[in-house]
């Protein structure tokens, strides 16, 4: 059995002005003011959507909306009061209260890099090195925080319009 190798490329740096409106290839569900984050829940989320019972591979389920009530753009970027409270609204009737915690060890989010001819995202003509490996990987982002929701959900009313 031969060992296979993969080349790992560091994340591409973007200017700070472009980071606000940058498009990540990952779902925008867990984007926080400090980047991507892991979501840690104690329990099960009932979204109110019925599953059809088909058991097949369903599409993504929208869980809710994240809200950082203490976050002030431009002043709260690298931690502080905004990390002490975060809300996750599930459907129209429930709100989870949690906090942002720093991970003891950062986690890298990686993806397979497309080769030149596999799709529209070429890698600037760089050769794969003989084709003996599994390919090339790139770091999409380093996750340094998690959102921790350890309390029971609070019932909330539907806002009057």
Within 8 A by CB and 6+ apart from 153, the residues are 90, 94, 95, 96
Q: What is the mean pLDDT of residues 43-50?
A: 65
The three-point CA angle 152-158-161 to 5° equals: 155
For the cut 50, the answer to whether the pLDDT of residue 4 exceeds it is yes
Q: Tell me which of 15-24, 44-53, 86-95, 141-150 is least confident.
A: 15-24
What is the pLDDT confidence band of residue 64, given thresholds at 50, 70 and 90? confident
Q: Are 99 and 83 in contact (CB under 8 A)?
A: yes
Q: What confidence score (pLDDT) does residue 160 get?
A: 56
What residue segments make up the domains of the chain, in order of their start? 27-43+63-155
For the record, the structure tokens of 158 come out as 């539907």
Backbone angles phi, psi at 83, to 5 degrees: -80, -15
Q: What confidence score (pLDDT) does residue 123 get?
A: 42
Q: Are 157 and 94 in contact (CB under 8 A)?
A: no
What is the pLDDT confidence band of residue 105, given thresholds at 50, 70 and 90? very high
23-37 tens-digit pLDDT: 444 444 466 777 777
Task: For residue 26, give the H/E element and its range.
Answer: none
Longest CA–CA separation in the chain, Å: 66
CA-to-CA distance for 138 and 120, rounded, in angstroms? Answer: 16
Q: What confidence score (pLDDT) does residue 104 get?
A: 92
Percent with pLDDT over 90 in the chain? 1
123-154 tens-digit pLDDT: 444 444 444 456 788 888 888 888 888 888 88
76-93 tens-digit pLDDT: 556 677 788 888 888 778
Q: What is the mean pLDDT of residues 90-99?
A: 84
Within 8 A by CB and 6+ apart from 103, the residues are 38, 143, 144, 145, 146
pTM metric for this prediction: 0.59
Distance of CA 40 to the CA centre of its chain: 12
CA-to-CA distance for 128 and 112, rounded, in angstroms? Answer: 12
């Amino acid at each position: 059995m031969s060992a296979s190798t993969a080349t790992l490329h560091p994340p591409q740096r973007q200017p700070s002005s472009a980071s606000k409106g940058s498009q990540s290839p990952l779902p925008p569900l867990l984007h926080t003011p400090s980047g991507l984050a892991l979501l840690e829940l104690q329990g099960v989320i009932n979204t109110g959507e019925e599953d059809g019972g088909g058991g097949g591979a369903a599409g993504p389920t929208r869980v809710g909306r994240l809200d950082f009530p203490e976050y002030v753009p431009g002043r709260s970027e690298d931690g502080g009061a905004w990390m002490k409270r975060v809300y996750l609204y599930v459907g129209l009737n429930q709100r989870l209260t949690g906090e942002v915690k720093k991970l003891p060890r950062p986690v890298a989010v990686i993806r397979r890099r497309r080769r030149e001819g596999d799709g529209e995202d070429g890698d600037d003509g760089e050769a794969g090195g003989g084709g003996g490996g599994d390919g090339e990987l790139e770091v999409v982002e380093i996750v340094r925080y998690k959102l921790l929701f350890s309390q029971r959900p609070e019932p909330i009313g539907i806002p009057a319009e």
